[in-house]
Structure formats: C-alpha cells, structure tokens
Amino acid sequence: MRRHFQLLVVLCLSVLIAFSGMASPALARVNPADAPEKGDSGGEDYYYVQLESPPVASYEGGIEGLKATRPEEGKKLNVQSAATRSYAKHLEEERQDLKSWMKKNAPKAKVVLEYQLTMNGLAVKADKETAKKLAKGPGVKKVVKSISYRPAMNASHGIINDAPAWKAGYNGSGVKVAVIDTGIDPDHPFLKDPSLPVPEGYPKGDERFTSNKVIVARVYSPDVKGTPDDPTPEDLNGHGTHVAGTIAGVSGYVDPQGRAKSPLSGVAPKAYLGNYNVFPCEDCSAESIYIAKAVEDAVRDGMDVANLSLGGTAEPGFDLLAEVVNAASDAGMTMVIAAGNEGPGPQTVASPGTADEAITVAAVSNKHFFGFPITVNLDGEEKTLPAGTSDPGGQVTSRVEAPLAVVPDGDGKACSGIAGDLTGKIAVIHRGDCTFTEKALAAQQKGAVGVILINNSPGDPTAMLVEEIVTIPVVMVSMEDGQAILEAQNASAVLEPRQVEEFETDNDRLIAQFSSRGPTVNMTLKPDVAAVGVNVYSSVPGGELASYNGTSMATPHVAGAAALLKQAHPDWTPREIKAALMGTAKDPASDPLPLEVGAGIIDVGAALKPVAMADPASLSFKEVPLKPEKGKGKGKGKKDAEVALQVTLKNTTGSNQVYRISADSKNVQVSKKTLPVQRGKTAQFTVTPLTKGKQAGQDVQGYIVIQAKDGKSIRIPYHFRVK
C-alpha cells in the first residue's frame, strides 16, 4: 500500500518519488512553492538567555580552582572527567543564581531548557517585556529570541569517489553519526544490520526506537504547534530516514521496488546512527532552543559527527545555533550542515550553515533521475522525452492526447493567472516564481487537459508536489527538451500512465539552481564543499525508497565521508577533517566559483591522504576597502590598507616537502612562492587581498593552489568584497 509522507522543505526543496508496488505513476513530492520556502516567523515567546561564562566545551581555564575543560587537539570532550564535573557544577550555580533572581524580578518567565556543554544559559518562555527584564539578571550576557527552523544514492558514489575508502577497509565502523532531523525509522531494511554489536553504554533515549544501528533515539519540540500531544522519536515525515540512509544505509541493499539498476549503499554503511528528532510531526518548524539542546545532547552522547539538514533565516551578528555549532566542534564533534535552498542569489546561505567551524554543503546534480517517458510530436517529428512526475495531485491516471499551447502570461510562468482559453489543450508553462499547484490550477481553470512544465535550470527534470485539487496530469521536462517544444510551430503530446524507471544521464556535477550561494550575511565565505543533492535515492519510512532533491540530501554525503575519515584517522580533529575534504575537493561541471561550491565537490579517496592541510581551510577577508588609483583620493602614495590573513600549512606526507604556492596575482598576493615544511610539521605564509583595478561592490574569489613535490596538490578558496 502506498504511503504518503508530507515533506518539510526549506532545506529539502524536496523532490520525493516514493514508488508503490503497482505499475502506476510515481508518488512524487516537491516543495509546493517551487521556490525556497521561508521558515515560520514563530518563536516570539521563546528566548535564549546567555550567561557570561563560557560553556564546558570552550572553557580554557582562568577561574581559580577550576581546570580547563576544552579538549586537547584531536580529543573529544570528556563529559565524565573531574574537571568537567567541577566546571559544570560552577555553571549550574550561576544558572541557579539567575533562576532565583528570576523568581523575584521576572516571575512570568518559564525555564524550558538548560545548557552547559555547548552553550551556557537558559531557554525561557516569556513575553517581550519579561525578556527585556531578563537582560538585567546576574551574569547575563545577552537575551536572544529563538528562531524557527525547517528541515531542509546508488549513482552518487562515483561523483564523491568514496570507493577508494571502502577498498582500503574504511566503512564507518565504530563511528557514531547524529542525525538531527525528523527522526529515523530503525525498522527500515536499508538501516538494519544485525551484525553490528551495540556499543557499551548504549542504547540511549527511547529504546523503543533504537536498534543495533540506531543507538540513540531522543525527541524535542514537544510544545511546538503541529506536534502530537505525546511526541516520540518516530519519523512521521520521511526526511530524516532518507538522510540516515544516505549516511549509513547497509551495503549491497537491493531495491525491492526494482527501480534502481544497481545495489544501494550509504556512504559509511557500518556507521552507527543517533536519532535526534527535532521535528516530531508531519509538517512543523522547530525552535532553535530545541535544536541547540539536541546538539548538546549529541555531544554528551559521544557522537563523532552530526548531520543537520535543516536551516532558518540567517541574521547578521549573534546567531544562537552558530555559537552552538562552533562549540560542538570545539568538543570534538564534526558538524556538517546544509547550505540551504535559497539559490541562486547571493548571500542566501541559511543558519546555522553560517557557522565558521561547520562544513557547509552545497548541492550538485546526480548521474540519474527517476521518471517516465512521454511522447511529443514537434512539426511532424515524434520524440520520446523523459519527464518528472507529480503527486498527490497532477498524476497521469489515464491517456491524454492533445495539442500543446505555450502560455505567454507572466513570462510564461502563469503565476498571476492565464488570460487565454486552453480548452482541450496541454499547457506549456515555465517553472519558477510560484507553486506548481498555482500553475496547474491556472491551466485547469482555463480548460487545459494537462500541463507540461519546463525546468528553469540546466540538467534533468524533477518530480513535483502538486495538491490534490489539481485533477489534470502535470509533468516536467528538461530545459533543453522544453526549448525544442517552444521552437516547434505545431506541437502535440501524449501523456499516459507508465512505469517509473531510472534514467541515466550525463547531466551530473552541475550546480543545482536551488543551492544557496555565499557570501554569508556576515560576509564570510560559504559554502565549504559540494556533494550530490539532486535525485538522491534513499530510504523513507515503511520500507520504501524515494528520490529527494535539496542541500538536505547533499549534506549526508559529506557526513558519511566525515565518518570514513574519522575511522581512517581517529586522531583528526573536526578542523582537520574539514581541511582534508576542502583541500582535495574537485571542480563541478562548470567553472568553479567558491561562492557557489566552496572548495568544490568532495573527493573521499583523495581526502584520505591529502598532501597538506591548511588552517584555515578557506580565507574570508570580508569587506576590503577599495585602494584609490595612484594620484587619486586620500590613499595617494600609501600602501594597501588591506589586512593579510595567515595560513598554517601542515605537512601530512611521509617526507619533507617544499610546497609551491600559486594564486591569481591580480586578486591576492602570497608572501611566499615556496614553503619548506618538514614531515609532520607546520609552517606559515600570509595572503593579502588586492583591490587595485577592482570596482566597489565587486566579489573577488578564487583559489590558492599548494603543490607538493609529487605533483599532487590542495587548494584554498578565498573571497572578499570590494568596499
């Protein structure tokens, strides 16, 4: 029996194809807005009260009698150490002082959560006036309103090149990955591995939803609108189970629906999973205070990697979740976060993907997609075109044959309605600007018997979520095929129920139109890397498989890769895992631009043995003042006022190196062309941005290449905006 899953879609921008066992059209889900959905504006009565003292993960000492608790390089936070317990008790006393003060001075404030590992403070529920009073409490640093967040395979392995890691014996064994999402279905066959021993001290949380592989199950957001009265870690949506399958689905899993031509596997098939369900609902938002608590619990539970395929609107300045993410990285947990689906415009990277220490992930296209063929007749020439499907409305349930009519309204997008009569015709409409449902309804109301949508970016067509009020069939074709339809003088089409199938394609490694671009609202360089986020085939609850699109789907590829690297190099820190993935990343199909793909598409095989590691792994100069031309302005005769950034280069090879450093000399100046570094040691060089000849407001970006003596290299992306 077909199961329907309502997909949460700001960072999913989701295209989901959940196939039934019958030879009927695919069940397809997609962001109903066909445009990045904004997070709900809720959170008006949730506030985070941050205290002055640093959290346990970041405390470096300085208080008499209390030793530093920040872990040593390469170590995870020891939550059971005497130093941790002592400092945690000190923070508890600070919070107790504040709570005592609140009883007298802000009695309306209700304490919801407490934090100490990755943040130091309280989450409270209060009105605006009470929140203002809290800012005057003892030890309070700031009071910040909570923000609402939304959740945002078999063919993708070749693109991220994880096979070399598998051949070397790395499969994620022993590594624990937290999935902070909509939950995980532990009974899905793709996520069941009876051979895995349950680690000592596990399972944790609600054991009804754990297994040999899913060793933690916790639930959050119990009082958020849209959640059940008694929420559990169960995945009511499908998004989290899909993410989990990409990270750690068992190797060699054969698609029971027969659609995938080759067996499936997660990137790290032997990794353990932790279910931290912050969206225990079919369709709801989650407050940042609960996501922050889930991150803190993942640190306490000993997770090595955390996947956050979610996001909310990024605001300049202080960001609660970004602070939590950075502290969790300090604690030794590698944080992998979706960039967002707000592209292709600039400065669209979502929070908490803006966090400096996170590995923020963009999306590129896959080597396959799922759909069914349609027949078109263009000026007497008959062609068969692969098409994306729709669900729950817009399905092709019976044969429709009719002439095509190109809709001119609203640049062909029909977002403000359709003026002409379409009786007995199949409407041809461009994708973009409004929902698939709105487009289809506009055509249906004018008598159309079907709709063909033309994709608005290069690559393959996708599936769509169309509301059931649409009763005519709706399909999508690629931009290229759509152009052929537009150029025909006489065109007709046949739409009929067909078996969904897997189409192989050469449209891989293209940057997804929806993928968010940098720089961030704080003018830092993001995203960091890219991975496959289009037509990703993975598990959904009920034992089924589905194809989703979004940076939500790219992120678990990188989380799985981080798990492989952690197994191969247990002593690597989150920063070093990030540096290895970034330094060895490869170009997309188009010219690489750091503001689109960061360092590039991850290459797991190369990241296992990088010839060097750079710290920082990318260079964000932010805004750099324009240098006046010689003889003009106040800067006459003076040197560049730009501030150089220092890079520490670590030699990770087995021999001494003299690295060659190269970059575009019109954009940046490097202090050294060559850099000798002994085996296992570090050395430094500086990079200075150059604004001469640039225009105010210009984004300057590129790569610095570091080449070893064997010819292998890493690269460091850089960016600055001319002020």
The residue ranges of DSSP E strands in 604-644, in sequence order, are: 612-615, 619-624
CA distance 114 to 201: 24
CA distance 50 to 155: 45
Assess contact for 603 and 636: CB atoms under 8 A: no
β-pairing verdict for 368-378 and 501-504:
antiparallel
Assess contact for 598 and 362: CB atoms under 8 A: yes
Alpha helices in 196-350 (DSSP H): 239-248, 288-300, 320-330
Three-state secondary structure of 255-279 = CCCCCCCCCECCCCCCCEEEEEECC
Q: What is the DSSP letter of 627?
A: P
Question: What is the SS3 assignment for 219?
Answer: strand
CA distance 450 to 25: 15
Has 148 been annotated as catalytic?
Answer: no
Q: Which residues pair with 308 in a beta bridge?
A: 337
Active-site residue, selected from the candidate residues 40, 162, 181, 699? 181
CA distance 400 to 426: 9
CA distance 557 to 246: 6
CA distance 425 to 410: 19
Has 239 been annotated as catalytic?
Answer: yes
> What tokens were used for 116?
């100490």
β-pairing verdict for 359-364 and 529-532:
parallel
Residue whose pair of structure tokens reads 């709570």 in the numeric block: 99
CA distance 633 to 622: 22
Question: What is the SS3 assignment for 164?
Answer: helix
> What tokens were used for 528?
């960091």
- Compute, in degrees rounded to 10, the torsion defined by CA atoms 244, 246, 251, 257: 100
User: Rounded to the nearest 5°, which phi and psi values hold at 417?
Assistant: 95, 175
CA distance 145 to 132: 11
CA dihedral sign, ordered 151, 152, 158, 159: negative
Counting every residue written for the chain, the total comes to 723
Active-site residue, selected from the candidate residues 14, 53, 162, 239? 239
Q: Which residues pair with 149 in a beta bridge?
A: 286
User: Rounded to the nearest 5°, which phi and psi values hold at 134?
Assistant: -60, -30
Q: Shortest CA distance to 174 belongs to which of 298, 73, 80, 268?
A: 268
Assess contact for 184 and 214: CB atoms under 8 A: yes
Ramachandran assignment for 254, one of left (phi > 0), alpha (psi -120 to 50 degrees), beta (any other): beta
Assess contact for 335 and 306: CB atoms under 8 A: yes
Query: Is residue 139 exposed (0-12), middle (13-18) or buried (19+ Cβ within 10 Å)?
Result: middle
**Taking each helix axis from N to C terminus, what angle separates 288-300 and 320-330, rounded to the nearest 10 degrees?**
10
Has 538 been annotated as catalytic?
Answer: no
β-pairing verdict for 368-378 and 121-125:
unpaired
> What tokens were used for 478?
């690629």
β-pairing verdict for 214-219 and 305-308:
unpaired
160, 335, 369 from 603: Cα distances, Å: 5, 18, 22
* 645-651 β-sheet, strand order: 612-615, 645-651, 682-689, 668-670
Active-site residue, selected from the candidate residues 552, 557, 618, 699? 552
CA distance 493 to 692: 56
Question: What is the SS3 assignment for 564?
Answer: helix
CA distance 124 to 526: 32
The residues carrying an active-site annotation are 181, 239, 552
